[in-house]
Amino acid sequence: MKTARGKRSAPFRELAELRARLAEAEETLRSIHTGEVDAVVVAGKHGPQVFTLKGAEHAYRVLIESMNEGALTLTVDKMILYANQCFARMVKCPLEQVVGSSFRRFLSAEDRAALRRLLRLADRSGSKIQVLLHAGDGSQVPAHISLRPLARNGPKSAIFGMVVTDMTEARRTEQLLRALTHRVVQVQETERGRVALELHDNITQLLCAILVRCQTLASKLSPCDGPLKREAIILREMLGQTAGEVVRISRHLRPSVLDELGLVAVLRDTSAEFAERTGVALKLSCVELTARLPAEAELALYRILQEALKNVEKHARARRVTVCLSQQGGCAQLAIKDDGIGFDLDSPPARRSEEGGLGLLSMRERASYVGGALEVKSVRHSGTRIEVRIHLPPPSTAKRRRSKG
């Protein structure tokens, strides 16, 4: 009986030992966390190793200094408590002149206000902004700032960690891609103009010649040739419709009325053609601009209207569309609004590709190409509104263009 009782008590002793060791480990972790322990001894293959707080700090410093991004710690008053060498190189200042100074010295007044707002929201996720850092040599460095609170012992003694990413190369790449996109648009417009000219001067003339011959054939047929005469008349009507469609395609590729009569005329023609072809009610209102836009800007607005109406026709299921050309200060504004089903602007582009996502990208690029800005507002089942603003040229420039025209 003693032997059996001893066997049963062995697991309980092991369990008690495990509990004691777990309690000891928890106490050690608590002491490390509260700063009561200065060193930790860890047993290893080569004997016990001592890790001190100083050694851990050194490892973190090596990590921070080896980063390709700027790393700082700031007080709530934007005083720099620590900065790594990468940030010092970024702002082109000696590190000893960076640490202890105010981070505001590297920011414009506008970016300082943005940083103040960022510090207030630093407890939330996504505390990031884009700024222009003013470097020590007078240059400006585009940068991305991410901020997180590290310690908070009251509102006046908070310490923040900041990561600063140099966006110079990213901006340069973005500019190269934008320039390439603009070049593609230019080549595309040139090719559209060439195809439109070919359609107008060759295909349309051939169709018209065939139409005349068909009309002549129909007129020469006697009433006795009833079936043949009817067939000739049907063929003549089909040729007329085909010629009209070719003219429409040619006009859409490169509207000559845009160069000859200006933006308002082409907006009227495009709106009338859309309403007649689709049956969607379209209301157009245009004001006289104080200056005529450059040819590229007028073409951009026309293409944006084309793309917007195409999206309405394919996706919106709208019954009414309004198009308004107005002047807001020194900008020309074109607004296209429909009462269709709308779409979710926050959805990923891949999901919006079937709802005109690529069309929106094209419109933004065209507006950007001529120095304009495009804004899209849409809500599910509440329609879509597209606004594009382009700066009007100075009066002297407009007068020179009218005199040349």
Phi-psi region of 92 (alpha: psi -120 to 50; beta: other; left: phi over 0): left
Does a structural domain hold residue 45? no
Clarify whether residues 64 and 114 are in a common domain. yes
Clarify whether residues 155 and 215 are in a common domain. no
pLDDT tens by residue, 64-86: 777 889 999 888 888 898 899 99
**Which range of residues forms the domain containing residue 25?**
2-37
CB 236 within 8 A of CB 214: yes
Q: Which of 237, 254, 271 is the last residue of a domain?
A: 254
Q: Terminal CA-to-CA distance of the chain, rounded, Å?
A: 118
Nearest to 391 by CA among 330, 335, 334: 330
Q: Which residues pair with 274 in a beta bridge?
A: none
Does a structural domain hold residue 161? yes
DSSP string, 300-333: HHHHHHHHHHHHIIIII--SEEEEEEEEETTEEE
Helices (H), 77-203: 85-90, 95-98, 109-120, 168-198
How many angstroms separate the CA atoms of 307 and 223, rounded? Answer: 50
pLDDT of 153 = 58
Does a structural domain hold residue 402? yes
pLDDT of 128 = 84
Clarify whether residues 178 and 295 are in a common domain. no
How many angstroms separate the CA atoms of 405 and 15, rounded? Answer: 98
pLDDT of 251 = 79
CATH number for the domain spanning 86: value is 3.30.450.20
Does a structural domain hold residue 21? yes
Clarify whether residues 212 and 284 are in a common domain. no
Clarify whether residues 150 and 287 are in a common domain. no
Complete edge-to-edge strand list for the sheet that includes strand 80-83: 80-83, 70-75, 159-166, 140-151, 128-134
Clarify whether residues 310 and 399 are in a common domain. yes
Clarify whether residues 268 and 226 are in a common domain. no
How many angstroms separate the CA atoms of 290 and 332, rounded? Answer: 9
CATH number for the domain spanning 286: value is 3.30.565.10
pLDDT of 352 = 47
Does a structural domain hold residue 46? no
CB 141 within 8 A of CB 52: no
Q: Which residues pair with 166 in a beta bridge?
A: 143
User: Who contacts 297 (Cβ-Cβ below 8 Å, separation ≥6)?
Assistant: 332, 370, 372, 390
Counting the structural domains of the chain, the total is 4
pLDDT of 297 = 92
Clarify whether residues 72 and 135 are in a common domain. yes
How many angstroms separate the CA atoms of 378 and 364, rounded? Answer: 15
Amino acid code (one letter) for 342 = G
pLDDT of 356 = 46
Clarify whether residues 306 and 235 are in a common domain. no
Neighbours of 77 (CB within 10 A): 11
Model pTM score = 0.58
Clarify whether residues 92 and 25 are in a common domain. no
Clarify whether residues 400 and 273 are in a common domain. yes
Does a structural domain hold residue 153? yes
Clarify whether residues 79 and 147 are in a common domain. yes
Does a structural domain hold residue 373? yes
Stretches in the chain below the pLDDT threshold 50: 1-2, 53, 350-356, 398-405
The vertex-44 CA angle with 41 and 45, nearest 5°, equals 155
Strands (E) located in 232-278 = none
pLDDT of 178 = 79
pLDDT of 355 = 46
Does a structural domain hold residue 202? yes
pLDDT of 149 = 83
